[in-house]
Chain A
Amino acid sequence: MPSLWIQNARIIDPASKRDATGDLCVNDAGKIVPSLSAAAKKRARKIDAAGLVACPGLVDIHVHFREPGQTHKETIATGSRAAAAGGFATVVCMPNTTPPADNAGTIQAIKDAAARDAVVRVYPTGCITAGMKGQSLAPIGSLKRAGVVAITDDGDCVQSNQLMRSAVEYAKMFDLPVMDHCQDHALTQGAVMNEGVMSTRLGLRGWPHAAEDIIVSRNVILSHYTGAHIHCQHISSKYSVELIRRAKSRGVRVTAEATPHHIALTDKALASYDTHFKMNPPVRTEEDRLAIIEGLRDGAIDIIATDHAPHTDYEKDREFDFAPNGIIGLETALPVVLDVLVRRSRFKLPKLIDLMTRRPAELLKLNAGVLAEGAPADICLFDPAEKWVYDAKAGQSKSANSPWHNQTLTGRVKTTIVGGRIVFDNGRIK
C-alpha cells in the first residue's frame, strides 16, 4: 500500500481540537503519521486537497444493509460502497435482517461478508430479543462473543418493560450498549406519518410523538434504575429531546441520535403522498425539527446517524399506506447536514464533524473517528462548497429511495480513505 501525502487540506480533527490548513500523512501501514521521510514523500501518492476539508472518516452507527435475506434491496458490498461514497469509513449495521441477527452464526456470516465484500469497516449489532419478537431475550452474551458492538431490535421496539429491564441489566454485564427504536405499538397501530395538522388534512393515520416520548421516558427510568447505557435511536420529537436533556443533567446514562432527515424535513413534505418521505419514526413538525437541532447544539442529542434504509423502487412505488418505511441516506448525509446545521443553523464545522466521527465512535467504543498519530488512516476529504445534483439512481446503493433525488446539494465528498487505502475517489469506488 503506498503512503499518502494529502497536501493543503483544512484538517479538522475534533478529538485533538485541530482545525488548520496543512498536510496529512499516512504511512504504508495505513496509519496516520506526523510526517513522511523525504524518501517516503517521493514514493507517496500525493493528493492536492487545496479547498477541501480533511476529517476523520465519518462514522454511522445506524445503517440497514439487508444482508442476509433482502439482498435485492442492498448487500453489505453495495451498502459499504454507498457508505464510502458518503465519506463514511465505519458503519454499524442493524440486525433486522432475514433471518434476524439473533445468533452467533448469523453474526459470523455478516462478519464474513463484510470481510469479503465491504470497502469500509462494517460492525454488526445483534437483536435484543429472539427473532425480534419481543418475547424472550436473544443470547446476548454469545452475540457479544461473536463480535456485536451493541444490541437492538431496531425497526421494532421491545414493548415489555420487564423484558427491556432484563435486557439492559444483562447487557450491562457485557458492557454492551442497548440501542432502542422508541415506539409504543399500541399508540401507533396503522400509523404512517406524524399525527397532527398534516395527517388530519391528508386523512392518513397519525403516529403521535407521545408514542416515542413514553418509550424514551421508560428508557430513562430503566437506565437510571439499572445504571445501564441505553441509546435512543432516531429521536424525532421535541419532548423526547427535553426528556433526554433532563435525564443527562441528572447523570443518567442515556444517549441519543438524530438523522439528517429529521433535522432537515417536516411532515409538510408529505403533502403529495410521496412515499420517499415515509419513514419510521416519521418526520414531524417545524417545532420538533428545531428542537432536534437545539439538542444537537447543546448535547442533549449526542450524534448524527443516517438510518440508511434501502427499499427497491417497486416497493416504494405504491399507495402510501402500503409502502415500506425508510429512506437511504449515506450518500447525502454530509451535504444535507452541512446545509441545515452549518449554513442555516450556524454550527461550527468542527462541531458538525464531531457529531459524525469521534462521538459516535466513542459511543460504541469503536476504534475510529480520530486523526491521531498511529490511528488507522480513515479519512474523508470533502469540498464543503461544491454544488451538485444528486441522482439517487446513479448512486452506489442498490436502492434509490431518497427524498433528495434530483435535488441540488451543497458539499460533496471527494475521497474516502479506509486504513490508508483509497476506497472512493472522484465519484468512483476504487
Chain B
Amino acid sequence: MPWHRKDLITLEELSLDEINQIHATAAAFKKILGRSVKKVPALRGKTIVNLFLEPSTRTRLSFDMAAKRLSADVISFDAAASSTTKGETLRDTAENIRALGADMIVIRHAASGSPLYLSKILDIPVVNAGDGAHAHPTQGLLDTFTMREHLGDLRDRKIVILGDILFSRVARSNIHALIKFGANVTLVGPSTLVPHWFTDLGVEVSHDLRSALADAEVVMLLRIQHERQGGAHFPSLGEYTGMFGLNKTRASWLNPRALIMHPGPINRGVEIDNDLADGPNSVILEQVTNGIAVRMAVLYLCSGGQPENVIGTSD
C-alpha cells in the first residue's frame, strides 16, 4: 500500500496499516544501522529543519541522527537565539523557514496542536516531535516497535503505563497505537495525574498499583513532570516514590519476563529504582536505538518515499 501522508501529527489519525508500514520501514532501516557504513542516500539534497521551541536533548539528537543517516542536510533551530524571543509568530517563523528552502520541518512545541496548525499553513511535510501534552507520535511508534520486537503480536497483551499520565504526550501516543494493536492498556498512578476521562480512549484506569502490575507484560514508566504541573498534584516526590515508584518488590508482581520501558529522561530513585532501570528486563536503551530507525522511516515516508523502495536494505 503506498504512503500518502504529507505530515505526521498524531498516531490517533493513523490506521493500523499505516503504523505497520512505518514499523516495516523502520525494521529495514534498522538493518542499515547495524552496518559499518550507516548511511543511505534516500534524502540526499533535502533540507530538514528541526524547529525545537521547547527544550529537548534525546528527541532532537535522534531526529538529527536519523536525518543524517538518510543523507539529508539538517539545520537545528535554536529557540533561545531566535526571532520567536522577539515576539515573532510561529506562522512567520515557519513561513520564513519555508522561504529559505526547507523541505521538511520537525517541530517540538510546548503548545498542544501547534504541529497541526503548522501543517495547515505549510506545503512541506511537518513532523510532530512532541506538542504539549497532546502527542509524541514518533515516541509511540518507537515504543510499540520495541515491544513488538520482544513480544511479537501485541493483541491481548497487558501493558501498564505508570506515572504522570495527565501531562504526558508519550502516554497519549502510546495509548492510540496500543489500542490499534489490540493490547489491553492500564493506566496507573495517583488519581490527580490519571483522571477518569482517559477511559474514553479505551483504556483501564487504576490507582491500585498491585492489581495493575499483576502479570503485566510491559510496564512503561513516565517521568514526573514538575515543570508542567503548576500546582500540587501529589504531596511530594518522596510520597510519590513511596506509593507509586517501581522497586524490586513491586516489579516482582509483573510477569517475570516483563519489559521495563521509559521514554526518558529518567528520574532515578523517583519513578524507578536504579537496579531496575539498568536491569535485565529494561529495554530503555533499545528504545533509544530504535528511535533512530523509526524516525528515519517517518522522515523518509513523509518526504515521499515508499515503504517498498527502501534502498540498500538487503542483509
Contacts and interface: CB of A to CB of B under 8 A. Distances in A.
Interface string B225-237: 0000011000000
Contacts of B135: 203
Contacts of B116: 272-273
Contacts of A197: 197, 200
Contacts of B89: 314, 317-318
A202 B112 contact: yes
A325 to B, nearest CB: 15
Nearest to B89: A318
Contact of B111 (A196, A201, A317, A320): A320
Interface size class on chain B is: 20 to 34
Please classify the interface of chain A as helix (H, G, I), strand (E, B), loop, or mixed, using the class held by over half of its residues. Answer: loop
Contact of A317 (B91, B109, B132): B91
B270 to A, nearest CB: 23
Contacts of A189: 230-231
Interface string B84-97: 00000111000000
A322 B91 CA distance: 13
B81 interface: no
Interface string A315-344: 001111110000000000000000000000
Nearest to B110: A321
Interface string B192-234: 0001011011000000000000000000000000000011000
B169 interface: yes
B117 interface: yes
A320 B114 CA distance: 7
Given A200-B195, A203-B172, A190 B114 contact: no
A201 B112 contact: no
B200 A320 contact: no
A318 B90 contact: yes
Contacts of B172: 201, 203
A204 interface: yes
Given A319-B109, A319-B117, A321-B112, A203 B197 contact: no
A321 B90 CA distance: 12
Interface residues of A, number: 20
B230 to A, nearest CB: 6
Interface string B270-281: 000000000000
Contacts of A199: 197
B141 interface: no
Contacts of A196: 197
A204 B197 contact: no
Contact of B132 (A200, A204, A272, A318): A204
Interface string B112-134: 11101100000000000001111
Given A189-B231, A318-B90, A321-B132, A200 B112 contact: no
A200 B131 contact: no
A201 B116 CA distance: 14
Contacts of B113: 202, 204, 273, 319-321
Contacts of A200: 195, 197-198, 200-201
A272 B113 CA distance: 8
A150 B10 CA distance: 48
A203 B200 contact: no
Nearest to B133: A203
A94 B180 CA distance: 49
A203 B132 contact: yes
Nearest to A187: B231
Nearest to A186: B231
Interface in A196-235: 196-197, 199-205
Interface string B128-151: 000111110000000000000000
Nearest to B121: A317
A320 B197 contact: no
A144 B172 CA distance: 53
Given A189-B231, A317-B91, A322 B111 contact: yes
Contacts of A205: 133
Contacts of B200: 197, 200-201
A320 B113 CA distance: 7
A101 B134 CA distance: 39
B91 A204 contact: no
Can you list the 5 inter-chain pairs with the closest CB atoms, starting with the nearest? Answer: A203-B134, A273-B113, A203-B133, A319-B111, A321-B111
Given A202-B113, A203-B172, 15 more contacts: A189-B231, A197-B197, A197-B200, A199-B197, A200-B195, A200-B201, A202-B112, A202-B134, A203-B133, A273-B113, A273-B117, A317-B91, A318-B89, A318-B90, A319-B90
Interface of A: 189-190, 196-197, 199-205, 272-273, 314, 317-322
8 contacts: A196-B197, A197-B197, A197-B200, A203-B135, A272-B116, A273-B112, A273-B117, A321-B132
